[in-house]
A and B are shown apart, each in its own frame.
Chain A
Amino acid sequence: MPAPLIEARALVKTYRMGEEVVHALDGVSFAIARGDFAAIVGPSGSGKSTLMNLVGGLDTPSAGALTIDGADMASLDDAALAQFRNRTIGFVFQSFNLLPRLTALENVELPMIYAGLAPKLRRARAADLLARVGLGERLTHRPTQLSGGQQQRVAIARALSCEPPLLLADEPTGALDTHTGQEILKLFATLNQDGVTVVLVTHDLDVAAATRRVIEMRDGRIVADRALERAA
């Protein structure tokens, strides 16, 4: 059996809120295999956002071990974390987070700029990716000229631009209507079939139902972890 893409053992994250010490993650262990399509669900305050920040390399664990794509997350410095976010993770946010001054093409190019790719190569790859998410005709549109669903597609193309093994999506349908949300989830499923590991963080059980595995969290712990039969 190959090594899992994400492996967490007894993961702890504590914050200090004034006098109080908050255990956002209180000993979390799990593994996500390459090619999986999983949802991390739970109410707000359950620790799912903290877990996403750790997996995304935006934060470092207080205790426990977290290995992603062979990298020990506790040992990475700022530059190594930046490179990890650039190469290993594709972020998709609830509010899209596109830069309004840039065109769709330029937004998709952004991670490749930090990867140091040549402009010609970047542009060609960004155009390919936008075509792949169904926006081949909207390359030079700015975010304000695109609908919410289209903006999220641009964001997904951006997340894919450095060919990361893991897509990490935080409430990706939260700002979209149900129909558009379903289309975005379908896009994730398609990408997953193409070999990208996808992890969604959501509080919406309907969204979670679109995946193949649901990890349920409450008060900083995993309370349920089940595979869904009907997804594929």
Chain B
Amino acid sequence: MIRAGDLVASAMRALRANPLRSALTALGVIIGVASVIAMVAVGRGAQASVENSINSLGSNLLIIVPGAMRQGGGVRSAAGGWDSLTLSDAEAIAREVENIAAVAPAQNAQAQLVAGGMNWNTRVTGVTPAYMIARDWEVAQGRFFEDRDVSQARRVIVLGATVAEQLFPNADPIGQSVRVNSGAYEVIGVLESKGQSGFGQDQDDIALAPLTTVKRRIAGRRSGGESVSQIAVKAASEEALPDVEESVTTLLRQRHRTASGEDDFTVQNLSSIAEAGQQATQTFTILLAAISGVSLLVGGIGIMNIMLVSVTERTREIGLRKALGARQSDILQQFGLEAVALSVAGGAIGFVLGVLGAWAITTGFGLPLTLSPDTAALAIAFSAMVGIVFGAYPAWRAAKLDPIEALRRE
């Protein structure tokens, strides 16, 4: 039995005999593994980014908006009008649906905010304190308004991080005055930054004010009365979400006296949107990995090609080794090991390059870099497999050589 150490030494010696050829052969695997690593990391980064931004909308959240979302065309038609959703709907949901953490009606308005010499056009959303629970949001500075502020329709405002930055680039905004539609509002807080949403919106480009204040003073006549632009409902738990969605839908149908399929409202389940987003990025990741996998395949074929050349060149050596006592399995192992050594070395170098590439790309696109430790093991195992698969045939050819024929070869 040949010793393992001798087998490895012999393979290394053979590869070192032709350094340039070995390096070029390994290059195919290097490129393949590097691109697989980089692409999977980029894909995972994109996935994590989508996941983060969808989660940043708030977890276990249902968003109810007026109007129906028809299936198929994806065209929203305003069955029942845009003012079909009301404050009393929100109150009814809070009263009658079980397993709810928060119900947050909201009224959207677009307004110009002016502070000192700066002005900024943004979305001003009228909310209640429950909105912060529903969206899993916190203030970074100052405080959020209370139920009292809402019932008194006080002129206070909480700025999103982007708005605060635009209006008060070098100053503390807390306690400052902001003019909205010619009314003066006191800035009482700044929201913590949430970054971009999964749909590419800047979630920090917003200002929050008491719901009553926005309805009366900012949103204008169209939003008068009871109607709200949306109701956010946060379920108590992930498990409760489907039941809550069903109860809310049933309740609103009763209240609006609409039949199934003719709803004048739409209940959006964010977790299903998140799922769809994840699925899309996952498909994208698999696609990228598959394309890179093709280059790994090409690298493997390169190894096979060179090993076949090597077997032909060393026919006489193989014959001699057999005459001196090498079994078929010894020859098989020797040539197989050369192929595996080439591909594993290529895999290791490719892994390093792939990590660097992934770092460069994710940094460039502002994606989080997600590299799990198993990626390294996977790269090595995968390249070893390439070596075994593509080294097997040349090694088998070498092992099966007739020693008499092989020794006769010049």
Q: Which residues of B contact A53 (CB under 8 A)?
A: 404
Give the contacting residue for B326; candidates A82, A93, A162; CB below 8 A: A82
- Taking a contact as CB atoms under 8 Å apart, the answer to whether B404 and A114 are in contact is no
Give the contacting residue for B327; candidates A78, A97, A113, A162; CB below 8 A: A78
When each residue 103-139 of chain A gets 1 if its CB lies under 8 Å from chain B and 0 otherwise, what string results?
0000000110111101100000000000000000000
- Taking a contact as CB atoms under 8 Å apart, the answer to whether A91 and B324 are in contact is yes
A56 lies within 8 A of chain B by Cβ: yes
Give the contacting residue for A111; candidates B1, B3, B325, B403; CB below 8 A: B325
B280 lies within 8 A of chain A by Cβ: no
Residues 29-48 of A at the B interface (beta carbon under 8 Å): none
Residues 61-114 of A at the B interface (beta carbon under 8 Å): 78-79, 82-83, 85-87, 91, 93, 97, 99, 101, 110-111, 113-114
- Taking a contact as CB atoms under 8 Å apart, the answer to whether B330 and A82 are in contact is yes
Q: Which residues of A contact B330 (CB under 8 A)?
A: 82, 114
Q: Which residues of B contact A99 (CB under 8 A)?
A: 317, 320
Shortest distance between the CB of A154 and any CB in chain B (Å): 13
Q: Which residues of B contact A56 (CB under 8 A)?
A: 323
Closest to B324 in A: A111
Shortest distance between the CB of A96 and any CB in chain B (Å): 10
B268 lies within 8 A of chain A by Cβ: no
With contacts A82-B322, A82-B327, A91-B324 known, is A113 near B317, CB below 8 A? no
A59 lies within 8 A of chain B by Cβ: yes
Q: Which residues of B contact A116 (CB under 8 A)?
A: 1-3
With contacts A58-B404, A78-B327 known, is A85 near B322, CB below 8 A? yes
Give the contacting residue for A114; candidates B5, B316, B326, B328; CB below 8 A: B326
Q: Which residues of B contact A85 (CB under 8 A)?
A: 322-325
A158 lies within 8 A of chain B by Cβ: yes
- Taking a contact as CB atoms under 8 Å apart, the answer to whether A113 and B2 are in contact is yes
Q: Which residues of B contact A97 (CB under 8 A)?
A: 316, 320, 323, 407
Shortest distance between the CB of A109 and any CB in chain B (Å): 9
Shortest distance between the CB of B1 and any CB in chain A (Å): 5
Q: Which residues of A contact B2 (CB under 8 A)?
A: 113-114, 116
- Taking a contact as CB atoms under 8 Å apart, the answer to whether A101 and B17 are in contact is yes
- Cα separation A119 to B327 with both chains bound (whole Å): 20
Closest 8 A/B residue pairs (Cβ): A86-B325, A114-B325, A82-B327, A111-B324, A116-B1, A97-B320, A113-B6, A79-B327
